[in-house]
A and B are shown apart, each in its own frame.
Chain A
Amino acid sequence: MMARLWNRRTRAFLLVMPMALFIAVFFVWPLVIMVKQSVSDTAVLQILPRTADEVAGWDRASPPSEAMQAALIADLRAATDEKAVGDMVRRLNSAQSGFRTLMSKTISAVAKPETGPLLAPVDKRWMQPPYWIAIADALEPRTDRYLLAAVDLERDATGDITQMPEGSSANRLIFGRTFWIAGLVTLFCVLIGYPYALLIAASTGTTRAILLAAVLLPLWTSLLVRTAAWFILLQEQGLINGFLLSTGVIASPLALIFNRTGVVIAMTHVLLPLMVLPIYSVLVTIPTNLMPAATSLGAHPLRAFVHVMLPLSLRGVVSGMLLVFMTAVGYYITPALVGGAGDQMISAIIAFYSTQTANWSMASALGMVLLAITLVLYVVYAQLSGRNSIGGRM
């Protein structure tokens, strides 16, 4: 008996193993790497390992020691990866302005064998502690600067956390915009989706089949196809403007695309099924005789709805709202296609850092914030709707 149980467990283990390994390597690990990347800052340490050893014993006030200067020269001579050197210079320049010119001057100087072991002849600035303090700070392999920058904060010269200067970073604005758009979409989805789910639950036969099919068909249709379709409807010579112009409702075409209106309309359409289905799945479990019972006891239909139907279906409504909001917060494709420059959400900024400027640290820090928000929403959602309900929406 024990042997058989053991056998079954071994078999189960062997069956799950490939998947567990796959998910560990290609799902968990990338997220861990991302978290590490968002707090790691090795651009300078990578190029200046000898300098790091020397700077460790420095008091941050007296002029740089000869050993520090010699180490810096040795490090710069040993550095061959031009891209990595560029990263280092950029990193140092962001901490102390003037570093870019100082470094390029120094790098071309150390290329000549007669330079050294002192740096004063190359540039007097090397005698000033601020430049060395910038190097010492940048040598620290762990940093919170990217996470702080993700919410528009930075450390000042004394190490205190302060606001970034006005206009230097817009991440908070974009997070705010992301929540605002996701909130608007959730609101419209619930305004259309809740009555619609009630309508499905109240209908029977063919009507119910048609109403359900109208929700499921868009869900099965490619996101790209649906977004392209909104293009056709919303553009200046699109069907909606054409219809409104020909009926004389408007005199000139409305701006419906490449702005907030277009983004909210298209995203509401894309996410509406995610609102309707959770609500509907709760509604069908509510006995159909409760509302007639309430009204037959003298309750006004509206009162009956508020006191009977609404509380019973609330779990579905909140699930739907969380699901829509959670999905909307991470949206990239739809705003990128039907939105304007002022409608880009946080995903677009992450994609920009990651694919356009290869600034993985900043992309990771912003990704961390987005991931944290999504996971918190998901935990609440999972608590509300019980296990496996995420599969229920398929």
Chain B
Amino acid sequence: MRPGKLIPAVFGLLAVSFLLLPLLVILPLAFTSSLFLIYPIPSFSLRWFDVLVTNPVWRAAIVNSLIIGIGTTILSTVLGGLASLGLREKLRFVSAPLSTLFLLPMVVPAVVLGVGLQILYARFGLSSTYLGMIIAHTVIAIPLVMVSVTNSLQGMDSRLELAAASLGAGPAATLLHVTLPLAMPGILTGAVLAFAVSLDEVVLNIFLAGPGQRTIARQMFAELRDNISPAIAAAAFLFIAGTIVLMALVLLMRRRVGGTAS
């Protein structure tokens, strides 16, 4: 190989290993029988998955993550979906600033939002409640829902809605039978991203949750600080597997919806 080709190839290989190696090394440790989160693995075992489902702390964390995650998904998808539909109407001096405002939670550092919400929640008794956590996660999930729903609405052929209207469908019927099915891939993607954000969020949980709302991510954070056990790797395995399953679901849905639309 000429050096002109060799150098990029070596660089590419190194960069890909840097990006992927960390993800690959953590997965096998989920199945270690050792007490420690280190290689080599003495023998394979499922003991750490057993810990996840039998240890009351981990179990509560999994349940909490599901409650907060599902709540966040529903709230942010409904709010974001409605707003995306509304923002299709371009009003000068209104639509553009609102779109920017709805994306800003992605920019503001989590600790800053955490401080503000902590003071607000102290006044309204939302500290250490599920509702408080769901609201906080919804704030940071909204930009992702907005982006994916807006993208799919922009990619839609608006003549289809005009056709429906000209054939006598009212606004509600058009929305229900034409717009929503066409926007479904974007809505589903937004919902999955919202769930993923909630699942992975730690900072707001530290600021706003009580011991009763500890999530898996928060529990992983605590374990990484105190007693580093392979239960973390087992949780990580569930995270990665969960991500893949959800992504596959979205792709499948998209294909199905795309198939009927075309």
A: residues with CB less than 8 A from B are: 8-9, 11-20, 22-23, 26-31, 33-34, 37, 192, 195-196, 199, 202, 210-211, 214-215, 217-218, 220-233, 235, 237-239, 242, 269, 272-273, 326, 329-330, 332-333, 336-337, 347, 350-351, 354-355, 360, 363-364, 367, 370-371, 374-375, 378, 382, 387, 390-391, 394
Contacts and interface: CB of A to CB of B under 8 A. Distances in A.
A33 B232 contact: no
Interface size class of chain B, counting residues whose CB lies under 8 Å from the partner chain:
35 or more
The 4 lowest CB-CB distance pairs between A and B, nearest first, are: A330-B109, A30-B116, A15-B86, A229-B22
Nearest to B96: A387
Contacts of A329: 109
Interface residues of A, dominant DSSP = helix
Interface string B157-193: 0000000000000010000000000000000000001
B39 to A, nearest CB: 6
The listed residue with most A CB atoms (<10 A of its CB), out of B116, B150, B228, is B116
Contacts of A29: 116, 120
Contacts of B139: 22-23, 26-27
Contacts of B87: 12, 16
B216 to A, nearest CB: 8
A360 B118 contact: yes
B60 interface: no
Contact of B228 (A22, A23, A195, A231): A231
Contact of A211 (B12, B138, B221, B225): B12
A221 B119 contact: no
A196 to B, nearest CB: 5
Interface stretch (B51-59, B66-74, B233-241, B252-260): B233-241
Contact of B83 (A19, A223, A226, A364): A19
B148 A394 contact: yes
Contacts of A16: 82-83, 86-87, 98
Given A210-B16, A330-B109, A374-B107, A195 B11 contact: yes
Given A232-B38, A374-B109, A31 B116 contact: yes
B79 A22 contact: yes
B102 A375 contact: no
A392 to B, nearest CB: 9
Contacts of B23: 217-218, 221, 225-226, 229
Given A211-B16, A233-B22, A15 B82 contact: yes
B182 to A, nearest CB: 17
Contacts of A390: 103, 106-107, 143, 147
A218 B104 contact: no
B11 A22 contact: no
A226 B39 contact: no
A210 B16 CA distance: 9
B261 to A, nearest CB: 22
